[in-house]
Amino acid sequence: MKKHNFNAGPSILPRIAVENSAKAVLDLNGIGLSLLEISHRSKDFQAILDETVALFKELLNIPDGYQVIFLGGGASMQFCMIPYNFLNKKAAYLETGVWAQKAIKEAKFFGEVNVVASSSDKNFTYIPTDYTIPADADYFHITTNNTIYGSEIHNDMDCPVPLIADMSSDILSRPVDISKYAMIYGGAQKNLGPAGVTFVIIKEELLGKVERKIPTMLSYATHLKEPSLYNTPPVFAIFTCLETLRWIKSLGGVKAIEEMNIRKANLLYDAIDSSKMFVGTVAKDSRSLMNICFVMKEQYKDKEDAFMEFSKTKGMLGIKGHRSVGGFRASTYNALPIESVQALVDAMHEFEKINA
Ligand SMILES: *Cc1c(COP(=O)(O)O)cnc(C)c1O
């Protein structure tokens, strides 16, 4: 039976990226060595890294003055590196979910944290819009897509201080005006590649503004001076990212991907909104194109487990909601084909016919 992979992360990758990564593990470009056996200082890897950075810059239209680097440690390591490198006295954060809270927790080790707004009052089912960013903050941190709750900031905001965004789960899902941001980062394993590599897009002028001493590996200056190569980078994971970027380019770039994402999300949200049994959990203007969360209406609550089982017989994988939300979460990342969304919608309709 065909499997439909709705996993939230690590998650579905373009089939071609998986196949070409598998081939490179056996023999990289016919050189007679595995991708896993080459030096990260070899010309073969340098070519991979250079193309990855170049494609990233091209697809996201990254202006001069920014660098793209690949690090270890996941997005979670960035939660600590950001305040370590940029928080002098005070930083501002928008609290839109658990990942934002984890970022806030780390910042508090380094200085004053001003949480300008929070949607915790409604279990993070909306994006707050009514807040002011203090002009004396060293930076403002946002999480553009809240993977667990299925809410998303869809616009690139104007910000009076350097804007830093965790885009772990919506990078490359839409065109972004990079010039509005001082830094964008994320773990690759949602929309870009396998686990094990973190992308960082950083404006060079953001550096050098804190006084404190920073350990070598935690300092962005280290990683900008020897881009992605201060120590051994995750060679394999970077290769798969490159393959994903090539796939995005072959489809016409990020704008084309966005149109596909909108079609996929509309298909599922329309099914949810017109359903007798299912209901969305997120305020409509805050709904994510990447993680679509829904539950059974009150009178059908006892049918959730039955739908989970039913959907499995139709090949659905990974649609169980996060434990802090319950119900269902369908992650519709770039690589998920619309056929999988259609299969889920068909399963919902079929289940409703029998049960509602
Ligand atoms: C998954 C996720 C993280 C955590 O990423 P790690 O690479 O596991 O540290 C952080 N932020 C967001 C928005 C995520 O979706």
pLDDT in tens, 80-101: 999 999 999 999 999 999 999 9
Phi, psi (rounded to 5 degrees) for 152? -150, 140
Is residue 1 a part of any domain in this protein? no
**Per-residue model confidence as pLDDT tens digits over 203-243:** 999 999 899 999 999 999 999 999 999 999 999 999 999 99
Compute, in angstroms, the gap from residue 98 CA to the centroid of ligand 1.
Answer: 10
Active site residue 190: yes
Q: What lines the ligand 1 site, CB under 6 Å? A: 9, 74-76, 99, 143, 147, 166, 168-169, 187, 190
Question: Is 200 found in the same domain as 122?
Answer: yes
Helix (H, G, I), strand (E, B) or coil at 100: helix
How far is Cα 257 from Cα 251, in angstroms, rounded to an integer?
A: 7
Q: How confident is the model at residue 356 (pLDDT cuts 50, 70, 90)?
A: confident
Q: Structural domain of residue 84, as residue ranges?
A: 15-250
Phi, psi (rounded to 5 degrees) for 303? -100, 0
* Domain count along the chain: 2
How far is Cα 206 from Cα 6, in angstroms, rounded to an integer?
A: 37
Question: Is 278 found in the same domain as 224?
Answer: no
Check: CB of residue 159 under 8 Å from CB of residue 137: no
Is residue 9 a part of any domain in this protein? no
**Per-residue model confidence as pLDDT tens digits over 168-194:** 999 999 999 999 999 999 999 999 999
C-alpha torsion 184→185→186→191, nearest 10: 50
Question: Is 286 found in the same domain as 231?
Answer: no
Question: Is 118 found in the same domain as 262?
Answer: no
What one-character-per-residue DSSP string does 258-271 give? HHHHHHHHHHHHHH
Q: Give 174-178 contacts, CB < 8 A, sequence gap 24+.
A: 174/254, 174/257, 174/258, 174/261, 174/289, 175/60, 175/61, 175/254, 175/255, 175/258, 176/60, 178/60, 178/61, 178/62, 178/63, 178/66
Is residue 3 a part of any domain in this protein? no
